[in-house]
Amino acid sequence: MQIVPIPAFNDNYIWLMHDGRHALAVDPGDARPVQDFIAQHDLALVAILITHHHGDHVGGLPAFAGQCPVYGPAAEAIAGVTHPVREGDTVAIPELGVEFGVLDLPGHTLGHIAYVGPDLVFCGDTLFSAGCGRLFEGSPAQMRASLAKLAALPPHTRVYCTHEYTLANLAFAEAAEPDNPARDAWLAECRQRRERKQPTLPTTIERERAINPFLRVEHASVLEGLSGFVGHVPKDPTHAFAALREWKNNF
């Protein structure tokens, strides 16, 4: 089984899982690169997974209408979704022999979901390497709880998020937590990958727990860095998370 990043727009990845015959696509915001890859490799598209309603994740759906099942968040009205799902549901793709559990992850949008498969998660715009999504609809408490769900996945879980934001996120992580050797090692590796025009993704839950300030907001080293932004050390973890996200918004 292969999982291939198909670049789209400026910094999106449309993830395509395939076995050489059948394929599923995750968040096809642009249909053309997916269609081109499928045609080039003689694949049959058997499913589409949607994490949330933003246009750069759903814009390609009209081109695939009627071709295959389209799974998406039950809490969001997305044209083209044929199988609305929510936390506790299972998505089975028999052609590929894989099953996904669904997690509700409100924060970036209120209905955002993720798909948890064998040793992997397609998490849309909730968790990024060294970062997290903006809070367009949800609250800091919701996003923090959603990130905690992802952080609780097994450490070796591969994280397939949908934007190449890693270097920018790591620059912020340096400011938020200046002394983090694991983060510095990941930054060096990511710079080399980008110089070779390679993706920095997927990352892993284990790595993100070690380097991502949004998963480390209760650590003293992050709170110390945050105090330079807010002028004091926040006592409440949710307030600390909200301040960290606001800092990143304007970084």
CA–CA separation, 91 and 69 (whole Å): 10
Select which of 18, 22, 27, 52 is catalytic. Answer: 52
Rounded distance between C-alpha atoms, residue 251 and residue 174, angstroms: 12
Backbone angles phi, psi at 240, to 5 degrees: -65, -40
125 is in an annotated binding site: yes
> Is 104 flagged in the annotation as binding?
no
Place of tokens 């918004």: 249
H helices, E strands: number in the chain? 8, 14
* Active-site pick, 18, 22, 112, 163: 163
108 annotated active-site: yes
54 is in an annotated binding site: yes
- 18 marked ligand binding residue: no
41 among known catalytic residues: no
114 has which bridge partners?
Answer: 103
Active site residue 239: no
In angstroms, the CA 112 to CA 126 distance is: 8
CA torsion, points 84, 88, 93, 97, in degrees to nearest 10? 170
Is 57 annotated to bind a ligand? Reply is yes
Active-site annotation holds for 156 = no
The catalytically annotated residue of 18, 22, 53, 54 is 54
Q: Is 52 known as a binding-site position?
A: yes
Exactly one of 22, 53, 57, 112 is catalytic; name it: 57
Q: Which residues contact 154 (CB under 8 A, 6 or more apart)?
A: 119, 205
Secondary structure (3-state) at 67? coil
Catalytic residue among 27, 30, 56, 104: 56
Q: How far lies 98's CA from each of 17, 44, 67, 108, 201, in Å?
A: 10, 16, 19, 27, 21
Active site residue 57: yes
Among the listed residues 108, 184, 232, 239, the single catalytic one is: 108
3-state secondary structure of 235: coil
Annotated binding site for Zn(2+): 52, 54, 56-57, 108, 125, 163
| Catalytic residue ranges | 52, 54, 56-57, 108, 125, 163
Annotated binding site: 52, 54, 56-57, 108, 125, 163
